[in-house]
Amino acid sequence: MEKTIAGKNITVNEEGYLTDFSQWDEKVGEALAAEASITLSARHWEIVKYLQNEHKNQVALSIRRIGKSGVTDIKEFYQLFPNAPLKTATKIAGIPKPASCI
Amino acid sequence: MANHLHHHLKHPDWEITIIDEREEHHYQPGYLFLPFDIYAPEDIIKTIEEFIPKEVKLVNNNITRILPADNKIELSGGSELVYDILIIATGAKIAPEETEGMKGSEWQKSVFDFYTFEGSLALRNKLRHWEGGKLVVHITEMPIKCPVAPLEFAFLADSFFKHKHMRDKVEITYVTPLSGAFTKPKATEALEHLLHEKGINIEPDFAIEKVDNEKKEIVDYGGRVIPFDLLVTVPTNKGDELMERSGMGDDLNYVPTHKATLQSINHANIFVLGDASNIPASKAGSVAHFEAEILTDNILRFVHGEPLKEEFDGHANCFIETGNGKALLIDFNYTHEPVEGSFPFAGIGPLRLLKESRMNHMGKLAFRWIYWNVLLKGTHIPFVSATMSEKGKHYA
């Protein structure tokens, strides 16, 4: 379905995840963060960029791998993106919700 | 696999060897029933030897290392074995040491697992005398073997305490890192309805940081705290350490594997069966069974120099015990989530998909007999195909 994010028409799925990464830009990321009551700091951006890069390289994302990535640790990841950090952070990053759960 | 392959790969051209570190084979689904005194230890343990075809050699030993570049296996004691084709089926194991405090002073006192024989038996002895309180059923992280087992444990616990006339003394909470009861939406809806009906609380999105043994509580990275009197946890699952020693595993010691052919990504003459692989299918016995049928074909193709078939679709078929002599059945694959319907005959059943029934429960209990007498012998289950059938299912 279509949704207006940061003044742009964006295609999202029923859970609000972007379905086409080419529609993502930093303004869209900020708007999605605001929906989750998060103001993106430099640390947030480092993690968002890291997630986008991992996704581009087709690496399956999991909390465990992010904890061992060297980019952040799990404790900080939770502080930056409270409650369900991987779900929130991937949504802001414009990439699919990780399908690590089978 | 040995039971399948020895019909095709015959002496003297071929020699099939099974290396197993244990002398007993455990019916692992039985670990779920042992704590509730539904099964006894002798129901779920048999010697491995009785299932090995006589043309196949069984070596009872530990493997020190696999040397894939040299097509060699190094055994404990220093002897070596050379192979043309290797099938890895080393499974997944619990790793409670991955979570701070899990294997602390309360381990097997008020903190239990039921994914090992020892854990399940210790829990049985605890439950026989437990007087009630807060029972927390917990999953540490995904993926785990048999993702429905912790739910079944919660359902069976509800039923167990009802029969002991002490359900009012037990508060059951189901704690999961997932955002709902299960990984697939339609099944989650049905299962959450059942949890609610049975008065079981659910705490989703819980990523455990540590077990506090003194305060008897579990704490997550976001600071959420859940107190327990009895914690039944499914610790982190990992592949065998042999993969780490051999440099063949990912960060959880699972072997990178092609999800449709079951060939290892890095070595053409190595194939991976069951929980040992990293394919995005459920780590369930039914999956290994369906894989075995497809893998047999692919190994024969490999032997004849033919291209492998990309046939495995992630098919899983799981009974879910829901307590009080009933069960659900789910049937799904990589692309199709579990839905309602009938199985294995469209419109007839006799098993019902995603609905509680007594017949499903009989199916689950009959499965132990099928396992020992049909599956291990490599016999095909009538009417159930290795790839999933969409017939008789109510997809939206």
Q: Is B341 found in the same domain as B285?
A: no
> Is residue B284 situated within a structural domain?
yes
Residue of chain B with shortest Cα separation from A66 = B251
> Is the CB of A64 less than 8 angstroms away from the CB of B251?
yes
Q: Is B229 found in the same domain as B267?
A: no
Task: Quote the ipTM score.
Answer: 0.78
Q: Does B335 touch chain A (CB under 8 A)?
A: no
Position B379 scores a pLDDT of 80
> Is residue B45 situated within a structural domain?
no
Query: How close is the nearest chain A Cα to the Cα of B142, in Å?
Result: 6
> Is the CB of A102 less than 8 angstroms away from the CB of B280?
yes
Q: Is B107 found in the same domain as B228?
A: yes
> Is residue A101 situated within a structural domain?
no
Residues in chain B within 8 Å Cβ distance of A83: 205, 222
Q: Is B153 found in the same domain as B266?
A: no
Q: Is B294 found in the same domain as B370?
A: no
Q: Is B223 found in the same domain as B108?
A: yes
Position A100 scores a pLDDT of 54
> Is the CB of A78 less than 8 angstroms away from the CB of B221?
yes
Low-confidence ranges of chain A (pLDDT < 50): 102
> Is residue A79 situated within a structural domain?
yes
Q: Is B233 found in the same domain as B248?
A: no
pTM for the model stands at 0.91
Q: Is B217 found in the same domain as B182?
A: yes
What is each CA distance from A80 to A92, B244, B367, in whole angstroms? 12, 33, 47
Average pLDDT of the segment spanning B314-321: 92
> Is residue B322 situated within a structural domain?
yes
Q: Which domain holds residue A64?
A: 2-93
State the angle between helix axes of A26-35 and A85-93 in degrees (0 to 180), rounded to the nearest 10. Answer: 150
**How many angstroms separate the CA atoms of B253 and A27, rounded?**
39
> Is residue A16 situated within a structural domain?
yes
Specify the number of domains making up chain B: 3
Position B36 scores a pLDDT of 97
- Indicate if the pLDDT at residue B396 is higher than 80: no
> Is residue B291 situated within a structural domain?
yes
What is the tens place of the pLDDT at every residue in B106-151? 999 999 999 999 999 999 999 999 999 999 999 999 999 999 999 9
Q: Is B250 found in the same domain as B119?
A: no
**How many angstroms separate the CA atoms of B118 and A30, rounded?**
51
> Is residue A102 situated within a structural domain?
no
Catalytic positions of A are: 101
Position B93 scores a pLDDT of 97
Q: Is B335 found in the same domain as B285?
A: no
The answer for A 69-98 residues in CB contact with B (under 8 A) is 74-75, 77-78, 82-84, 87
Number of Cβ within 10 Å of residue B170's Cβ equals 21
Q: Does B38 touch chain A (CB under 8 A)?
A: no
Among candidates B369, B360, B294, B292, which has minimal Cα distance to B331?
B360
Among candidates B126, B117, B186, B187, which has minimal Cα distance to B157?
B126
Domain boundary (B213, B237, B261) is at B237
What are the beta bridge partners of residue B378? none
What are the beta bridge partners of residue B226? B218
Q: Which domain holds residue B261?
A: 2-21+61-91+240-303
> Is residue B46 situated within a structural domain?
no
Q: Is B320 found in the same domain as B298?
A: no
Q: Is B247 found in the same domain as B225?
A: no
Cα–chain center distance at B322: 18
Cα angle at B365 between B361 and B44, to 5 degrees?
145
Cα–chain center distance at B41: 18
Q: Does B265 touch chain A (CB under 8 A)?
A: no
Among candidates A1, A43, A38, which has minimal Cα distance to A18?
A1
Specify the number of domains making up chain A: 1
> Is the CB of B179 less than 8 angstroms away from the CB of A68?
no
> Is residue B349 situated within a structural domain?
yes
